[in-house]
Amino acid sequence: MSGSARGTVPGLATPHPLGAALPAVYAEDDFGQRFVAGLDVVLAPLFHVLDSLEAYFSPWLAPADFVDYLAGWVGTELTGTEPLALRRQAVASAVALHRVRGTRQGLAAAVRLAFGVDPEITESGGASWSARPLGPFPGAPAAGVHVVLRVADPAAVDPHRLRGVVAAARPAHLPFTVAVTTSRTSEGA
């Protein structure tokens, strides 16, 4: 069912005509029958939507405009300009991404979903164990995350979009930097 089916649709029959439900005294009343027929035109799309309501909550079956509505419900980081297949995938994977949000795995998955490329992620932190106190700390002294996206055509990637995706998926307390550069395979070509 397309997005336009949620408005009045010429010729769309209602599964529950109101004229048949009127008291017998109005069964032969031309004005009464025409009046409720006008209501049938308005209510028919509503009945059809309600009959297929479950499909509206599946990102794979929902009309395109409703997928954007679902995207807002589940908190996906979409601009609305992505291809429909990508928007459906983002809505379908939102719960799994929220489970790993703020982790390296979640950041990589969010960037991969948005751009179709695995990013290179460099973190400042680290973890180690030492039997002696006052040993050296792992990682860099300044906390941060650096994300590099290597693509064939860096000009085709919106760096502001990359910043937005990384800002939403990174650990909230860490500053970050991003870079878009040429992929290694295209450098050697």
Region 103-125: what's the mean pLDDT?
A: 91
Is pLDDT above 90 for 187?
no
pLDDT tens sequence across 18-74:
988 889 888 889 998 999 988 888 888 888 888 888 998 999 999 888 998 899 898
Show which of 51, 66, 85 is a domain's final residue: 51
Is pLDDT above 80 for 102?
yes
Extract the tokens encoding 62.
């929902």
Show which of 13, 28, 51 is a domain's final residue: 51
Is pLDDT above 60 for 1?
no
129 located within any domain: yes
101 located within any domain: no
**Do residues 119 and 112 touch, judged by C-beta distance below 8 A?**
yes
Is pLDDT above 80 for 161?
yes
**Do residues 181 and 150 touch, judged by C-beta distance below 8 A?**
yes
- Comparing CA positions, the residue from 59, 62, 48, 56 lying closest to residue 9 is 48
Region 159-167: what's the mean pLDDT?
A: 92
pLDDT tens sequence across 115-128:
889 999 998 877 66
Domain count along the chain: 2
Task: State the residue range of the domain holding 39.
Answer: 3-51
